[in-house]
Structure 1
Amino acid sequence: MIHRMLPRPARRIRARRASRILLALTAMAALLGVDLPDAAAGPPLGVTAWARPDTTADRVGALFADGLDGGHFCTAAVVRSDDRDVIATAAHCLESPYTTVFAPGYRDGEAPYGLWRLTGVYLAPGWTEDQDPDDDIAFATVAPVDGGQSGSVEDLVGGFPVAAEQPDDAAVTVIGYPRTLESPLRCANTTDLFSETQRRIGCPDLSSGTSGSPWLVDGALTGVLGGHEDGGSVPEISYSAVMGDQAVELYREAADAG
């Protein structure tokens, strides 16, 4: 496994194609789900709506270049670890990690739980050597920017457990931040296998910026939006690399790093 302490050279993030928002999102707000992101708790399957502030959405945040003024370009989520300082995202979102900061629960220009800088990144060799879409999942450790928060990020918002080996037709909830919006979106749907190593979901409007969004099954992270075509070339169909032994080992390394 590749563990890179920061800084490392910056490279340009490849964005997925953006699209205009097609839904009347405000009208859907009242339909949003409760804390645990299971498919029955929110809007109908395959419908994208605002993700209301709750304990689930607060564990998800936007990744920014330098700070809030730099614009958000990807999504990440807090996962459980002994030191309570690990986030998960897509590997292609960490091409410029030394300037990247994480804002959990970000909404409308505010970072209610502060900004968190990356202190280490954990990437599979298949990604660092060949940008293999099957390895487009990564983990990072974080610490408060300029001592802006005491304690750990997981102390503030909690963290998702990580679970591999999901059924082919698992019901998945995705929460993420399109570049053009200042609050996250939520969509749940059943998934299928695009290939043995790639899972796909039909959800509209998961456009550029939602790369790295957690894929949640019964409240556990089972993948992130990424993989094939950096997560998809159109916003109606998104992908995640199937979380296998390699990704689980990366998670364990990050969780044990301290």
Structure 2
Amino acid sequence: MIQCLPSRPDRRSRARARGRRAARILLALAAMTALLSVDVPDASAEPPLGVTVTAAADGTAGRVGALFAGGLDGGHFCTASVVRSQDRDVIVTAAHCLGSPDTTFFAPGYRDGEAPYGLWKLTGTYVAPGWTDGEDPDEDIAFATVTPVDGGQADGRRVEDVVGGFPVVAQQPADATVSIVGYPSGDESPLYCANATTLFSETQRRIECPDLSGGTSGSPWLVDGALAGVLGGYEGGGTVPEVSYSAVMGDQAVELYREASDNG
């Protein structure tokens, strides 16, 4: 039997067909890649230093919450965050945010009117005598213990069990890069900004981050994920939204933290 071999034109035709199919596949993949690059943001991307954005709904933001007057309907006026402690129930904020502890409530991870990790009431406060007696801006950092508003959760977990907590550190370099997460009183989602800091004085640290307006007092200042201060101190944390301050985490603040952790 005579075997008919395909002619050259046939081979070229098939090659061209394969080429066209490959080209179509490549074009489709390119289009899909372009679409994904527009619609799906890069989760690992961080804004440039000194730029304020809405904080991602991640584990860090979950440990930070808004302080409310009387409950969620009372409006939020300051920011606080959970720190590691022996009894897993300690938060930190600015001392000037704890003027009415009996009617102050903490909502970690608060966003868009929702408190995904519940509402927590204060059970004790730890404020330096220098603030209590004379509102010394160098002592504008305080700790508090909290418990669920409903009197307890079925599984007995504390706030740190629910969202985790930041370790507390002291003695940071003068030019340490700090990340801040906080709630302006007019916003329903937290803001995030990171930037290098400078020492305004031996006891006060300064950072330039825009839009950190009223309500961000008490926001944690994080260095490599550890708490090194809170927004407050000089001028109550600053008189313009572009520049903020924090008292340097000194011996008195560390002692308050230890007391709250031991007695919580």
Report the equivalent of 1:3. none
Report the equivalent of 2:65. 61
Contiguous gaps of at least 5 residues in structure 2:
1-37
Q: How has the CA–CA distance of structure 1 residues 214 and 120 changed in structure 2, closer, same or farther, with 3 Å as cutoff?
A: same
Report the equivalent of 2:231. 225
Report the equivalent of 1:211. 217
Q: What amino acid sits opposite 1:230 in the alignment?
A: G
Contact kept in structure 2, 1:32 and 1:43, CA below 8 Å: no
SS in 2 for 1:56: helix
Contact kept in structure 2, 1:90 and 1:137, CA below 8 Å: yes
Q: What amino acid sits opposite 1:134 in the alignment?
A: D
Higher Rg: 2
**TM-score scaled by length of structure 1:** 0.84
Q: How has the CA–CA distance of structure 1 residues 32 and 203 changed in structure 2, closer, same or farther, with 3 Å as cutoff?
A: farther
Report the equivalent of 1:6. none
Q: 1:107 aligns with which of 106, 111, 134?
A: 111
Inter-partner Cα distance in structure 1 for 2:50 and 2:252: 30
Q: 1:119 aligns with which of 115, 123, 134?
A: 123
Please report how far the alpha carbon of residue 46 of structure 1 lies from its aligned counterpart in structure 2 after TM superposition: 0.1
Report the equivalent of 2:252. 246
Inter-partner Cα distance in structure 1 for 2:52 and 2:58: 17
Please report how far the alpha carbon of residue 147 of structure 1 lies from its aligned counterpart in structure 2 after TM superposition: 2.6
Please report how far the alpha carbon of residue 31 of structure 1 lies from its aligned counterpart in structure 2 after TM superposition: 6.7
SS in 1 for 2:175: coil
**TM-score scaled by length of structure 2:** 0.83
Contact kept in structure 2, 1:114 and 1:148, CA below 8 Å: no
Q: 1:170 aligns with which of 154, 164, 176?
A: 176
Q: Which is helix-richer, 1 or 2? A: 2
Report the equivalent of 2:165. 159
Report the equivalent of 2:197. 191
Give aligned pairs, total.
Answer: 224
Contact kept in structure 2, 1:32 and 1:52, CA below 8 Å: no
Q: CA RMSD in A?
A: 1.5
Inter-partner Cα distance in structure 1 for 2:260 and 2:74: 26
Q: 2:261 aligns with which of 245, 255, 258?
A: 255
Q: How has the CA–CA distance of structure 1 residues 134 and 111 changed in structure 2, closer, same or farther, with 3 Å as cutoff?
A: same
Offset from partner CA, 1:88-143 (integer Å, 9 cap, x none): 00000000110000000000000000000000000001000000000000000000
Inter-partner Cα distance in structure 1 for 2:84 and 2:42: 28
Q: What amino acid sits opposite 1:110 in the alignment?
A: E
Inter-partner Cα distance in structure 2 for 1:58 and 1:31: 20
- 2:192 matched to 1:181? no
Q: How has the CA–CA distance of structure 1 residues 153 and 211 changed in structure 2, closer, same or farther, with 3 Å as cutoff?
A: same
